[in-house]
Each structure stands twice: as structure tokens, then as C-alpha cells.
Amino acid sequence: MKKIIYYSIMLVFGFTLASCEKEMKTYEGLEGVYFAQQWGSPVYSEWPYRPFTNVELVKVAGTLTEYTANIKVMFTGRVIDKDRYFKVEINPDSTTAIENVHYAPLPEEILVPANATVAYVPLLIKRSKDLQTTSKKIGLRLVANSDFGIAFPNWKAIPELGKGTLTPADTAFDNSIHTVIVHDYIVQPKIWPGSVNATTNRDQGSWGGFTRKKIELMYRLFSLTYDSFASTETMPLVLQSLITQEMARYLIEQFNAGTPVKEEDGRLMFVGNVPWVSIVGVPYP
């Protein structure tokens, strides 16, 4: 009796599995493209997608005159074992930047290699001088072509995604459009052992007053980045002292060679070990 019941159960289970196998199908939805740009460091899959990206050139470009921002896109539909292409163009409705001044023209189409589920828009940003005082927007717009449609023109984020963080989810937006906001502002970093005397306007301390020209010279001489000045872990006292000594030696060498290094206002660049006084707004003869 037990054997009969066992075989009956297995027979029913077998029919059920066969039925499920017949009903299982591969995904046949739209083969589409959408922006999948996320914030967070490191970028985990749970970070929400964003309708815009901030590019702070001072933090990512170092001394480069151009910087490529890779804007992530993803795809819906089947994974296909052949190369495909998606199309993206500048969205004039959200663009204040000027082509060939602030960014290079986009490629007409971008390759999606066989079996890939992720690709990137290589946006080449040009470091024009006006970005030091103003920000510019570069709008991107995905366009349907023969390989991909537009996947999520009405994207709605999970309401709880990113809750409790500094970057909670944007609830709804068109995920075929993305805006890149670019600037090259620079402010005094957390670690800067120097200042300008409020009464005499003289540079004082180990590094004197903060200037863009001075920190960029430090980048070049010591292979640093803006983030190097973010904390005492990346800029310990021993490194601060080394920079003061070597910067002073470099500035004195340049002065003795007849090519003194000057700030934008014409005063001699100052660090604590140089033999001269520098006063803001008073140019060196």
C-alpha cells in the first residue's frame, strides 16, 4: 500500500514538473537601454539610480586638461552573443555647456559587446578656464535605434531605497535622460597648515595662504591629488614638513634662476622656509 502511494505521488510530481517546464519561457520583453548611473563609494547594487551626475574636476582630473566621465547604461531584454550598438545624443533642453569648449562631440553610436549587460557613454570633458568660476550642464538623451528601444521613460524608484543616507532615491524621472553637471571650483582643503594674516595680509605658517596655483604646483612636484589633503591619514605631519622643505628649495631655485614663481596677484609664492615676505595684492617688482 505504501509503495502504491509513493509511486502515485512521484507520478503526480513528475507531471507537475513537466507542466512547469513547458510553461517556462525566456524573457521576450523590450530590448531597451536606460541610464543606470549611481552614487556612492564604493558603488553597490543597492544604491539608487540618479537622473544627474556631478563631476568635480578638481577631485577627479588632477592636472589633466581633459577628463572622460563614463556614464553607465544598462539593458533590458535578452543577452545576445553578438555585438550591438546604442545611440545617445546631446539633449539641448538641459545643456548649457558648449560643444568643443566644454565637451567633445559624442560618438554617433556606442558598442555593446556580445553578451554584455552594461556599457558606458564616454563623455570627454574639456577643462576650460571658465569652469573655475561657473558650472555647466551637459544633457544626454538615449535614442532608439534598430538594436535598442527606450526602456524606462517613466522610471519610478523603490520608495525606501537610499532612506537614511545622504542620497535618498529620486522617486520618479525619465531614465532615458541624464544630466552631467561639471565645474572646476577649488576651495581650501581640510589640511592646509598656513593662512594669511588678517591684519597685515602677509602669508604665514608652513604654507601661507591657500591658492589654486600653489596646490596645483604641489600636485605636480609631489604627485598628489586634491584628496591627498583630505585628512591627516593622507597628509601626515611628516609629509607636510617634507612638502614645506622641498617647496621652499624649489621656489628659491626658481628665484635664483631668474624665473620666480608668482601668484595670480603677482606676489612671490610663499612657504614657510623661503627668505622673503609675501603680501596679498602686492606684486613682486
Contacts of 61 (CB under 8 A, 6+ apart): 67, 127, 184
The DSSP secondary-structure symbol of 209 reads S
92 preceded by cis ω (within 30°)?
Answer: no
229 located within any domain = yes
Per-residue confidence band for 4, with pLDDT thresholds at 50, 70 and 90: very low
Summarised one tens digit per residue, pLDDT across range 156-183 is: 666 665 555 545 556 678 889 999 999 9
Report pLDDT for 153: 81
Instruction: Decide which of 19 and 97 is more confident.
Output: 97
Pick from 128, 150, 183: which residue ends a domain? 183
23 located within any domain = no
4 located within any domain = no
Q: Which residues of 106-143 are buried (b: 16+ CB within 10 A; e: fewer)?
A: beeebebeeeeeebebebebbbbeebeeebbebbbbbe
Residue 66, pLDDT above cutoff 90 = yes
User: Are residues 199 and 179 located together in one domain of the fold?
Assistant: no
Residue 9, pLDDT above cutoff 50 = no
User: Are residues 79 and 216 located together in one domain of the fold?
Assistant: no
Q: In whole numbers, what is the pLDDT of the chain averaged over residues?
A: 86
Report pLDDT for 173: 84
> If you write DSSP's letter for every residue of 52-63 in order, what string do you get?
EEEEEHHHHTTT
Residue 11, pLDDT above cutoff 50 = no
β partners of residue 144: none
Report pLDDT for 161: 57
User: Are residues 144 and 216 located together in one domain of the fold?
Assistant: no
Q: Which of 74, 70, 71, 79 is nearest to 33 (CA)?
A: 74
C-alpha cell recorded at residue 199: 591684519
Q: What percent of the chain has pLDDT over 90?
A: 71
Determine the average pLDDT of the residues in 109-122: 96
- With a threshold of 0.85, does the pTM exceed it? no
Residue 24, pLDDT above cutoff 60 = no
